[in-house]
Amino acid sequence: MKQFSIYRLDHLSVVEVTGADASTILHNLTTNEVRSLSDLEGRETFVTDVRGKMLGHVCLFRHRGGLRLVGPAGQSEAICSHIDRYTIREDATAEIQDSEFVGFVITPELAAEFGFGSHDEVALRSFPCDTEIEDVTLQEVRWLGQNSFLLCLPVTQAERALDILSSLVPVGSKVQCTDLTKQHVGSETAFHQARVVAGFPWYGVDLDESNLPQEADRDSETISFTKGCYLGQETVARLDAMGQVQKKLVRWEITGGVPAPGTSLLADEKKVARLTSVASTEEHGVLAIGFSRRSHFEKGASAIGVIESDAGEAPETAIHGTVL
C-alpha cells in the first residue's frame, strides 16, 4: 500500500439545503446539533428515520446561507426524499449536486503542515476559500482521522486541484507551493485502504439503512444527547440509557492472510464478527473494520476464521483476528 497525502474521490454525495427553515428541518432529522452552528462550522451526523435507523452518514456544514451535506456516494436521493417528506409548510429545499463536484481528501499529516490543526473533537471547520473559482470549499471531514480535510471543487476544475490547493496554503506554512503541485494523488481505492487504517466507517460499505447510529461506535462525534427531539430520537436515547448495543463496528488486526469483506470470525464455534472492510498494508499489516457481538467489543478480544480457496482442492487458510 503506497502512502499518499492527497486522495481523489470522484463519487460523493453532495446535497445543498436552502431556505429560511433549512436549519430547523435538518435539526429535526439528524442526530447532531444543527441550529446553533455558526458560519463555516459543521458536524458529523446521521440522518435518521422514525425507527432511529440511519438513512445517511454525512458531514453537515453551514454554507453560504444554507447547509451542505457531504459524504459517501449513494445517499443523496434517499436524504433528499426524506427531507421533502418532512417539509410541509416550511421553507426548505434540498438539491442533489453529486455530479457537479469532485473531492480531494487531505491527510492529517499534510493538513498539519498547512497549519490547519484543531483539538475540537466535535465541531468541524470550514476554511474561507479566496479564489477566483466559485464553489470551492475546504472542510474538515475526519475520514482519515482527526484534522483530515476535503477540498471540494467543481468537476470542471478537477485537473487544477493541486494549483487551487496551493493558492489556499496560509502564509508561513511549512509546505512550499512548488512542492505541493508535485504531489502524487491517490486513487479512490487507495483512499479506502487509508480510511480502513484510520478506522473510519463508510456508508454503503460498512454501514447502511439497517443500522442504528450507536452501532457505528462514533457517538461522541455524531450524536448530541442534549439537542432535544428529532426523528428517531427515542430509539437513540433508549439505547443510550441501556448502555450498550448488541453489535457495533470495531477495528481488527488480522494475521494469517488477507480475508475478503464479508468474512466471518468465530469464537467457541459461534459467529462473533463479520468483516466489512479490509486493508493490507506494509506498515500496519492487515487491518479490518467489522461488526462484532458484545463479547468482542473490548481491545484484545480474539476470534478465528478461514479464507476459502478458489483453487478447487486447495486447503482453506486459517486467520486470527484481534480487536484493536
212 lies in a domain?
Answer: no
Q: Which three cell numbers stand for residue 44?
A: 458529523
pLDDT at residue 115 in the model: 81
Number of domains the chain contains:
2
Are 177 and 315 members of one domain?
no
3-state secondary structure of 184: coil
Q: Do 250 and 323 touch, CB atoms closer than 8 A? A: yes
Same domain, 49 and 142: yes
Q: Do the Cβ atoms of 32 and 44 come closer than 8 Å?
A: yes
Residue 230 forms part of a structural domain? no
* Per-residue pLDDT at 313: 60
Q: What is the pLDDT of residue 1?
A: 55
Instruction: Evaluate whether 297 touches 250 at the Cβ level (below 8 Å).
Output: yes
Q: What angle do CA 115, 121, 124 make, to 5 degrees?
A: 65
Whether residue 172 sits in one domain with residue 39: yes
Q: What is the pLDDT of residue 96?
A: 98
CATH number at residue 105: 3.30.1360.120
Beta bridge partners of 102: 153
Q: 141 and 49 share a domain?
A: yes
What are the φ and ψ backbone dihedral angles of 142, each rounded to 5 degrees? Answer: 65, 20
At residue 258, the pLDDT reads 97
**In terms of domains, do 34 and 122 share one?**
yes
Does residue 235 fall inside a structural domain? no
Give the domain extent around 287: 246-324
How many CB atoms lie under 10 A from the CB of residue 15? 25
* Residues 267, 187 share a domain: no
**pTM exceeds 0.85:** yes
Same domain, 89 and 180: yes
Per-residue confidence in pLDDT tens, the chain, 324 aa: 568 999 999 999 999 999 999 999 999 999 999 999 999 899 999 999 999 999 999 999 998 889 999 999 999 999 999 999 999 999 999 999 999 999 999 999 999 888 877 777 789 999 888 888 989 999 999 999 999 999 999 999 999 999 999 888 877 777 766 678 778 999 999 999 999 999 999 999 999 999 999 999 999 999 999 999 999 999 999 999 988 899 999 999 999 999 999 999 999 999 999 999 999 999 999 999 999 999 999 999 999 999 987 765 667 899 999 999
Q: Return the pLDDT at 227.
A: 95
User: Does residue 66 share a domain with residue 147?
Assistant: yes
